[in-house]
């Protein structure tokens, strides 16, 4: 999924920026998909979708581990780490993670699992 940033105007002329997620070409390559997800998580933190820094760091660590495992040819461990991210997201609370962030991470991790 790729982020699309766009400016819109309200009926009163006030300028607002919104962030929309859309499918991207990287979805066929698990490594590119993970790289994109890491950058999207950073953006999700900036817009307040992710409110728990320790949760974010745990997810980043697992995703970096996925990339390292794939580089070493250990696809089984990479898949384990992706499933770990799904379990972490599933166990998180709404105070830690908005439903938008939950969906963003879950859909991208599931796509990475399917592409592997």
Does residue 15 sit within a domain?
A: no
Domain that holds residue 71: 26-115
Does residue 42 sit within a domain?
A: yes
SS3 6: strand
Alpha helix stretches (DSSP H) within 1-116: 30-46, 53-71, 75-91, 99-115
Record the tokens describing residue 9, joined without a space.
Answer: 């105007």
Could you read off the pLDDT of 1-57 as tens digits, one per residue?
A: 344 444 455 566 666 556 555 445 555 678 888 998 999 999 999 999 999 999 999
Does residue 30 sit within a domain?
A: yes
Does residue 80 sit within a domain?
A: yes
- Counting the structural domains of the chain, the total is 1
Does residue 78 sit within a domain?
A: yes
Inter-axis angle of helices 75-91 and 99-115, nearest 10: 160
Q: What is the pLDDT of residue 111?
A: 87
Model-level pTM? 0.78
């Amino acid at each position: 999924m790729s982020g699309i940033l766009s400016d819109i105007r309200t009926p009163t002329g006030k300028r607002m920026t919104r962030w929309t997620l859309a499918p991207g070409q990287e979805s066929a390559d698990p490594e590119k998909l993970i790289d994109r997800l890491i950058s999207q998580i950073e953006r999700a933190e900036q817009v307040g979708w992710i409110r728990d820094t320790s949760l974010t760091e745990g997810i980043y660590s697992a995703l970096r581990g996925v990339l390292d495992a794939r580089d070493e040819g250990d696809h089984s461990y990479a898949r384990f780490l992706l499933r770990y991210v799904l379990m972490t997201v599933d166990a998180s609370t709404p105070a830690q993670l908005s439903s938008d962030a939950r969906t963003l991470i879950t859909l991208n991790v599931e796509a990475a699992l399917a592409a592997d």
